Amino acid sequence: MQTVSTNRSHGGTQGVYSHASRETGTEMTFSVFVPDHAPGEKLPVVWYLSGLTCTHANVTEKGEFREACADLGLIFVAPDTSPRGEGVPDDGEGAYDFGLGAGFYVDATVDPWARAYRMRSYLERELPELIGAEFPADMTRQSIMGHSMGGHGALTLGLRDPERFRAVSAFAPIVSPINCPWGVKALSGYLGEDRVLWRQYDACALIEDGARVPDLLVDQGTADTFLDGQLKPELLRAACEKAGQPLTLRLQEGYDHSYYFISSFMADHLAWHAERLDA
Ligand SMILES: N[C@@H](CCC(=O)N[C@@H](CS)C(=O)NCC(=O)O)C(=O)O
């Protein structure tokens, strides 16, 4: 692992790091905030998955998570949203919703994406191993949150592995990629046309198929331009109600899809995570 930068901030260290990933076959960059802590102490870890077009940098610069993480004693990890670099295929048309910056947290099975687009395994196996080895992280206390495509990532990783993640929350998530244009484009491109394979990457389908977590927290702005066409939180509400899956869905009046929205509720989400992480 290489250190790209470190900065002192809010009584802790904000770092950016890179490493050669065995899953993607590329150099991957991520950020980690570590609050000051006692020698030998290990802190719980909150994972934050970002949305379309993002790198680690968007939330790191605009997410306003550090003060709360320092107060609550939480490590905050922000990975990239896709493999990048020489030889990594992109969609060829410069579209923002497929290819670079749009890995959708899947392991692609269709060529030419299958080689490098392995964000699921990267986040389920490789990066946690690295975080556990290199940082003062208590890997028995992890939680996950995300925004938009990253909200989809957080919900699906969280629902698939409730043993690992003690809390799952999202800002303006894509709740059902099977049922929105962004998701249909991504899942058909990365996985092919067999929709049965898509269900492991769809929060509503996972809940329909029996996945459960103790509770879910979702904030959604009412002025989000993607609300009706892509995000459709009512599908998550319906799936949760039908399955008896607890959900707190908060519609935030006048908030849009941006980091002005995310940063407004970030401390709230972190406090909710901290309670569940015994932080
Ligand atoms: N209108 C945007 C759509 C993508 C978008 O809104 N991305 C969200 C996540 S889905 C984001 O966080 N963008 C980066 C930022 O606001 O810093 C674009 O074309 O770039």
**Distant-in-sequence contacts of 135-138, Cβ < 8 A, 24+ apart:** 135/32, 135/34, 135/75, 136/34, 136/37, 136/41, 136/42, 136/43, 136/75, 137/42, 137/43, 137/44, 137/45, 137/75, 138/42, 138/43, 138/44, 138/45
The pLDDT assigned to 130 comes to 98
Nearest ligand 1 atom, CA 97: 4
Supply the pLDDT for residue 93. Answer: 86
CA distance 39 to 147: 33
Asked if the model's pLDDT at residue 101 lies above 90, the reply is: yes
**What's the half-sphere exposure (Cβ side, CA atoms, 13 Å) at 95?**
14
Per-residue pLDDT tens for 218-261?
A: 999 999 999 999 999 999 999 999 999 999 999 999 999 999 99
Gyration radius of the chain's alpha carbons: 17
Do 35 and 70 touch, CB atoms closer than 8 A?
Answer: yes
* Domains contained in the chain, number: 1
Helix (H) or strand (E) holding 76: strand 75-78
Structure tokens at 131: 């975080």
Closest-CA residue, ligand 1 atom 12, reads 51
How remote is the CA of residue 52 from the centroid of ligand 1, in Å?
6
Residue environment code for 181-192, b if the CB has 16+ CB neighbours within 10 A, otherwise e? ebbebbbebbbe
* Ligand 1 midpoint to CA 167 (Å): 25
Task: Report whether pLDDT(92) > 90.
Answer: no
d(CA 146, CA 50): 6
Give the sign of the dihedral formed by CA 94, CA 100, CA 103, CA 108: positive
- Counting every residue written for the chain, the total comes to 279
* Residues 99/91, Cβ–Cβ less than 8 Å: yes
Q: Which atom of ligand 1 is nearest to the CA of 149?
A: 10
Nearest to 21 by CA among 146, 151, 128, 150: 128
Question: What is the CATH classification number for the domain harbouring 258?
Answer: 3.40.50.1820
What ipTM is given for this predicted complex?
0.93
Q: What is the pLDDT of residue 131?
A: 98
Rounded to the nearest angstrom, the distance between the alpha carbon of 42 and the centre of ligand 1 is: 34
Catalytic residue ranges: 148, 224, 257
Domain that holds residue 235: 2-277
CA-nearest residue, atom 3 of ligand 1: 52
State residue 213's pLDDT score.
Answer: 98
pLDDT band at 279; cut points 50, 70, 90: confident
| CA dist., res. 46 & res. 75, Å (int) | 6
Q: Which atom of ligand 1 is nearest to the CA of 58?
A: 17
Mutating to test ligand 1, I would choose from 31, 50, 53 the residue with most ligand atoms within 8 A of its C-beta, which is 53
What's the whole-number mean pLDDT along residues 41-68? 98
Q: Is the dihedral of CA 95, 100, 105, 107 positive or negative?
A: positive
Residue 3 dihedral angles phi and psi, to the nearest 5°:
-90, 120
On whether the pTM is more than 0.80, the answer is yes
Q: What is the DSSP string of 214-251?
A: S--EEEEETT-TTIIIII-HHHHHHHHHHHT---EEEE
Please state, for a pLDDT cut of 90, what percent of the chain lies above it: 98
